[in-house]
Structure 1
Amino acid sequence: MNKAMGNDWKTIISLGAEGGSITLLGKEQQPGQWVFKKAVNEMNFDDLEDESFQPTESTEEVRPLKSSLYNRGKEATSWEKAIKLLDHYPWPLLNPREVHPAFRKRVWNALQKEVKEKYGYRIDSHRLNKWSKLCLPEYSPKMVTLSTWLQNSTHTTVLTGAGMSTESNIPDFRSKEGWWNNIDPRTVATTDALRNNYDLFHEFYSMRIDALKGCTPHKGHEILAAWEYKGLIQAIATQNVDGFHYAAGNKNVYELHGSIQKFHCENCAKSAKEDEFLSKSNCKFCGGKLRPGVVLFGEMLPEESWTESLSHIRKSDLVIVIGTSLEVYPASQLPQMTSGKTVYINAEVDASHHNFDLIIEGKAGEVLKLVDELV
């Protein structure tokens, strides 16, 4: 409705339940300077629509109000004090009816804070969707849900695959348009090729190294680094070998398939330099063949990276899987190792991903940017 109510008072938040309503009113006295008060209709909190609501210490003292409609005389001169006018009521759990467009983001932030501090995030998805439609109409409910889960989680692990890096213009081997149509890595990214067809092996990895030249982390990588810094995520387990998570600023990264930026001798395991590999030099220590530090088909995953990734996954409240087809074992099994919520983000989604709690179809960077705007 958003109607002026006497002397230009406008509805900022309108909340209802069976039998009554609460309205936070606001009046702009000067540009950007508001004063607030509340208006209350008779309300019986026993009739709350939200069946999942359980009275807490802060709501047990609420009683039905006696008058049919009245303004509470106390006025607030700041947004923080305005929200406190509603503290007597479990307002996040009521039925939201209207939010003033100028206050949408502030109401959403206040809602998140209130739910976290007083209700332990016990707000059902139906109620949350109502709030999000009023406060964040430009965002899809899935983005809002993920942002809420992310903020609510005490331990979050991210698992990334090739689709995480495609927006950095790195070819994705597994997409429909990817290099799998032209080169089957299972014939060249193998220990057999390394030992028995080194020319092909060297050409393949030289091509991959050249493909990385000029490529840099994109906005999605930077967002994940910022989330780690803020404490929103605790670890990244990645199937990628490009090193972009480290380059973007993440610290707790576990490279399940190794790194194409590191090189060593296949024979003696001594470290080597990139230019030594690209020039097809032999190991200067033993004369053996040089190779990048990636996990080849048929090799075991790095024990420390696997153990740490599994440990983080198992204690996570939230696991976010980004840009992986989940076809390569054993990394594909990691999302199943958590008792927390699971989210799948990928440009290509099919029926095989139905077991995730939330599925978002879209490019990694674009999805992460939208979610980041909400946290």
Structure 2
Amino acid sequence: MQTVMALVDGAERIAVLTGAGVSAESGVPTFRGEDGLWKNHRAEELAHPETFSREPHLVWEFYNWRRSLLSKCKPNRAHHALAALEAHASSMLLMTQNVDGLHHMAGSHNVIEMHGNIWRVKCTRCTYLAEDYSELPELPKCPSCGDLLRPDVVWFGEQLEPGTLHSCVEAAAHADIFMTVGTSGIVQPAASLADLAKRHGAVTVEINLDPTPNSGLVDFSLQGKAADILDKLIP
């Protein structure tokens, strides 16, 4: 821990990748294990363009339920610690797989939401895109063209925006320190970023409650609650 603290304090370029484990400490369901089912449907099935095309009512019911849960969640100490680290660092990019918007709420500014944001909606036909924190109808319609809206999130079977992935790869390739926080290191392409950073000379640090497939590959693996560990790492 002391070594990582010193490395973080001396780094000029920091890149951080966060996953569901960070938001779980705010009460956000991870949809793994016992949280993996909703009305006997797996999250992977509901967060899919084919399901939305076939049963938009079902998918929107799921996402409106998630939005109602998230409306009660607040950033936790891990979110605030990362915002404080950004304020201290010479250069820091925060990449998150989470769609809950909690990093922004905590005060982080240089954030890439790799999988989108559940509080944004976009039209399935035209270019309409907007943040909307209101309680949405069962099948929300686009105010511009009247077609169906969908959550502005990347579903299973969809590709990340090319510009998003490019920015993440660039940050990993030029980082002095690359940290993963609260992520299992399984979902691609995010899972490959730590290896990319290490091959380009970065010190790699994993912070997670449990060991992951990457624990033996990174330079430092710190196990415990993200909030507890990050609080100690902030200079």
Normalised by the size of structure 1, how large is the TM-score? 0.58
CA distance in 2, matches of 1:146, 1:232: 17
Please name the residue that 1:288 is paired with.
147
CA distance in 2, matches of 1:323, 1:232: 23
CA distance in 2, matches of 1:313, 1:240: 18
Give 1:232 deviation, angstroms. Answer: 5.7
Counterpart amino acid of residue 305 in structure 1: T
Pair 190,269 (structure 1): closer, same or farther in 2 beyond 3 Å: farther
Q: Report the structure number with the largest CA radius of gyration.
A: 1
Decide which of 14, 36, 41 is 1:179's aligned counterpart: 36
CA distance in 2, matches of 1:323, 1:233: 21
Match runs of 1:306-321 below 5 Å: 306-321=165-180
Please name the residue that 2:88 is paired with.
230
Q: Which runs of 5+ in 2 are unaligned?
A: none
Q: Deviations over 1:49-98 (max 9, x none)?
A: xxxxxxxxxxxxxxxxxxxxxxxxxxxxxxxxxxxxxxxxxxxxxxxxxx
Give 1:353 deviation, angstroms. Answer: 2.5
Give 1:278 deviation, angstroms. Answer: 3.6
Please name the residue that 2:24 is paired with.
166
Decide which of 190, 194, 215 is 2:52's aligned counterpart: 194
- Partner of 1:292: helix, strand, or coil? strand
Q: Deviations over 1:318-363 (max 9, x none)?
A: 1010011121111111111112111111112145521011111111
Counterpart amino acid of residue 153 in structure 2: V
Give 1:183 deviation, angstroms. Answer: 4.1
Kindly indicate whether the alpha-carbon contact (under 8 Å) linking 2:175 and 2:202 is maintained by their aligned counterparts in 1.
yes
Please name the residue that 2:160 is paired with.
301
CA distance in 1, matches of 2:100, 2:24: 11
Q: Deviations over 1:228-253 (max 9, x none)?
A: 11116511011011111111111110
Kindly indicate whether the alpha-carbon contact (under 8 Å) linking 1:162 and 1:173 is maintained by their aligned counterparts in 2.
no
Give 1:302 deviation, angstroms. Answer: 2.2
Counterpart amino acid of residue 178 in structure 1: D
Pair 145,234 (structure 1): closer, same or farther in 2 beyond 3 Å: same
1:362 corresponds to 2:205: no
Please name the residue that 2:97 is paired with.
239
CA distance in 1, matches of 2:91, 2:4: 13
CA distance in 2, matches of 1:148, 1:243: 30
1:250 corresponds to 2:108: yes
CA distance in 2, matches of 1:212, 1:310: 29
Q: Which runs of 5+ in 1 are unaligned?
A: 1-142
Normalised by the size of structure 2, how large is the TM-score? 0.90
- RMSD, aligned CA: 1.9
Counterpart amino acid of residue 216 in structure 2: H
Give 1:279 deviation, angstroms. Answer: 4.2
Percent identical: 34
Structure number with higher relative contact order (C-alpha < 8 Å, ≥ 6 residues apart): 2
Match runs of 1:65-80 below 5 Å: none
Kindly indicate whether the alpha-carbon contact (under 8 Å) linking 1:277 and 1:290 is maintained by their aligned counterparts in 2.
no
- Partner of 1:298: helix, strand, or coil? coil
Give 1:280 deviation, angstroms. Answer: 2.2
Please name the residue that 1:221 is paired with.
79
CA distance in 2, matches of 1:266, 1:275: 19
CA distance in 2, matches of 1:280, 1:322: 35
Kindly indicate whether the alpha-carbon contact (under 8 Å) linking 1:320 and 1:343 is maintained by their aligned counterparts in 2.
yes
CA distance in 1, matches of 2:148, 2:217: 44
CA distance in 2, matches of 1:274, 1:224: 24
- Partner of 1:250: helix, strand, or coil? coil
- Partner of 1:165: helix, strand, or coil? helix
Counterpart amino acid of residue 168 in structure 2: S
Give 1:370 deviation, angstroms. Answer: 2.4
CA distance in 1, matches of 2:193, 2:148: 33
Q: Deviations over 1:173-208 (max 9, x none)?
A: 23x443359642221101111111111111111111
Aligned length: 230
- Partner of 2:25: helix, strand, or coil? helix
